[in-house]
Chains A and B, each alone.
Chain A
Amino acid sequence: MTPYVVLSAILFAVGAVGLLVRRDPLVMIMSIEIMWNAANLLIVAAARFYGTVSGQALVFLVITLAAADVAIGLAIVMHVARRGEAVDVDALKELKG
C-alpha cells in the first residue's frame, strides 16, 4: 500500500502548494480539487487493501460533495467579478454583498 500512500501525499502537497502560492481564485479552487483527489486516492487504496467496498461508497459521496464545493466557490467568484472588482484574493477584504 506504500506506493499509493506516497503518491497521495505527493499529490496533496502539490495541491497545497498551489493553494498557498497562486492568487487567482479559480486556480486555487483547482488546487483544492487536486487535494480532494489525493484524499480520494488514499481512500480507494485503503478500500482495496482492506478488501471492503464501503470505502468506494464513501469516495462516491466525497466526489458529490466536491462538486458542490466547486459550484459554491465558482458562484462566489462570479459574484465578486460582477461587482466589478479585480478577481485577486489578495485584494479582497470582505465577502459582504
Chain B
Amino acid sequence: MTLALLGAAAVAAALGVILARNPVHCVLWLIAHLVATAAIFLTLNAEFLALVEILVNAGAVMVLFLFVLSLLGSSKEPEGLLGRRGESVGALVAALAFVGAVAALSGSSMAAAAVPAAFGSVQSVGVALFGPHLLPFELTALALAVAVVSVVTLAGRSRQP
C-alpha cells in the first residue's frame, strides 16, 4: 500500500516533468519526483541512499538546473508536448521498452531476502564502498575530475570568438 501511494506520486511527478510547459515547473516537478523516489528507497532499507538522493540530486543538482535556467531566462516551449512529428514514434518506442522490460524482468517472483537490521546504514554501505568496491569508487573520483575540467573548459572558452 505504501509502495502504491509512493509509486503513484513518483509517476505523477515524472509525468509533470515531461508535460509542464514552463522549465521552472519541470524542475519543481522533478524535485517532487526525487523526494518520492527517496521515500521508495526508504521502503527498501536504503536509508543512506535516500539521504544522498535528497541532498545530492534534489538539492545540489536541482539548484544547478535553476541557476542555468535563471541565467538563460525561462522560455516556454511554443508547442510543448504536442505538435512534433516524432511524438508517435517516441511513444511507440517507450511502450515497447516498457513491455519488454516488464516481460524480461517480472518473471522472477522472488521473495525478499532476510537482511540484518543495519542493512543500508551509512556504516554498511561505507564498508562495502571502501572495501571490495574501492577501485570503482576511486575511478568515480577520476570521472568527476574529468567532468569538472570539461565544464570549466566549455564555460570559459565561449568568451573568445
User: Which residues of A does B touch, CB under 8 Å?
Assistant: 1-24, 26-27, 29-31, 33-34, 37, 40-42, 44-45, 47-51, 53-54, 56-61, 63-72, 74-79, 81-83, 87, 97
Q: Could you tell me if A16 and B97 are in contact, using CB atoms closer than 8 angstroms? A: yes
Known contacts A14-B18, A67-B60, A78-B154; A49/B112 CB under 8 A: yes
Known contacts A5-B101, A44-B41, A83-B158; A17/B91 CB under 8 A: yes
Q: How far is the CB of B31 from chain A (nearest CB, A)?
A: 10
**Bound Cα distance A47, B60 (Å):** 26
Name the prevailing secondary structure of the A interface residues: helix
Count of interface residues, chain B, beta-carbon cutoff 8 Å: 84
Known contacts A12-B98, A22-B81; A5/B46 CB under 8 A: no
**Bound Cα distance A79, B152 (Å):** 11
Q: Could you tell me if B137 and A2 are in contact, using CB atoms closer than 8 angstroms? A: no
Known contacts A30-B65, A71-B147; A21/B87 CB under 8 A: yes
Q: Could you tell me if A37 and B34 are in contact, using CB atoms closer than 8 angstroms? A: yes
Q: How far is the CB of A31 from chain B (nearest CB, A)?
A: 6
Known contacts A41-B40, A63-B53, A97-B158; A71/B151 CB under 8 A: yes
Residues in A with CB closer than 8 Å to B15 are 14
Q: Could you tell me if B44 and A67 are in contact, using CB atoms closer than 8 angstroms? A: no
Q: Could you tell me if B101 and A57 are in contact, using CB atoms closer than 8 angstroms? A: no
Instruction: Select B114's contact among A21, A41, A51, A71, beta carbons within 8 Å.
Output: A51
Best-buried of A6, A67, A72, A75 by chain B (most CB within 10 Å): A75
Q: Could you tell me if A56 and B120 are in contact, using CB atoms closer than 8 angstroms? A: yes
**Bound Cα distance A9, B141 (Å):** 30
**Bound Cα distance A27, B20 (Å):** 9
Residues in A with CB closer than 8 Å to B72 are 26, 77-78, 81, 87
Interface residues of B in 84-117 (CB under 8 A from A): 84, 86-87, 89-91, 93-95, 97-98, 101-102, 105-106, 108-115
**Bound Cα distance A57, B127 (Å):** 9
**Bound Cα distance A29, B17 (Å):** 11
Q: Could you tell me if A44 and B49 are in contact, using CB atoms closer than 8 angstroms? A: yes
